[in-house]
Amino acid sequence: MRIATWNVNSVTARLPKLLSWLEITQPDVVCLQELKCTTEAFPAEVAEAGYEVAAYGTGRWNGVAILSRVGLADVRRGLDGEPTFDDVSEPRAIGATCGGVRVWSVYVPNGREVAHPHYAYKLRWLSALRSTVAAEAGDDRPFAVLGDFNIAPTDADVWDITLFDGMTHVTEAERAALAALREAGLEEVLPRALKYDTPYTYWDYRQLAFPKNNGMRIDLVFGSAKFTGAVSDAYVDREARKGKGTSDHAPVVVDLTV
């Protein structure tokens, strides 16, 4: 089974790229983030390409989905005890069982600035994710959380850590939230570096960040022992980030022997 995660930065704007990538890569399950469309407006062309779709979006700056060609059951939108921001419940997490594997597609809040209320919201949201993981990851099926975590796990996951002093994405509290997922029984699936020493997954559109490889690794895959034990390959698909009209994120692809 091939499972992938991709922050597409607008599924409508990226639809031609997404359809081409699905045909080339042939993933069985895809977790998408930052749909920027409503649940009802999710492009029908994806289903026509052979995928069942569970989407969760309001048309604003978030939205998540799971695509599957190996079955799609037990769909759940939202987390246990999920917090709101400005009294709004944002569509940032969706879970489903696909071919016997339980997956969650998550789009963790950005946090904006450490002093901003959105940062405190981010930490509360991550706590709700941990509670959901603890409740679901203990059964016998493979389990994984995939998505844009908006956290670089280590200093090596940022092209120049000195530029991030006092900023979100690299704070101790955010990284502690990742450690809490490990305490709940998950381990990170580390993608291969390909020709680069560090397999970044995000590069800003500005200042030639992608050609210079000034990136960050913030798109992550965390899995249970039954999931990670079945991993036969994992990589960042940098090719999908190249060219015009691309997302500023690259997909992370994981192959399983299940």
Is position 148 annotated in a ligand binding site? yes
Is position 7 annotated in a ligand binding site? yes
Is position 118 annotated in a ligand binding site? no
* Angle 33-210-250 from CA coordinates, rounded to 5°: 25
From CA 108, how far away is CA 174, in angstroms rounded?
11
Question: What tokens does 27 get?
Answer: 């993933």
From CA 97, how far away is CA 119, in angstroms rounded?
31
> What are the residue numbers of the active site?
107, 148, 249
Is position 204 annotated in a ligand binding site? no
Q: Crossing angle of helices 117-136/172-183, nearest 10°?
A: 10
Is position 34 annotated in a ligand binding site? yes
Which residues are annotated as part of the binding site for Mg(2+)? 7, 34, 148, 150, 248-249
Which residues are annotated as part of the binding site? 7, 34, 148, 150, 248-249
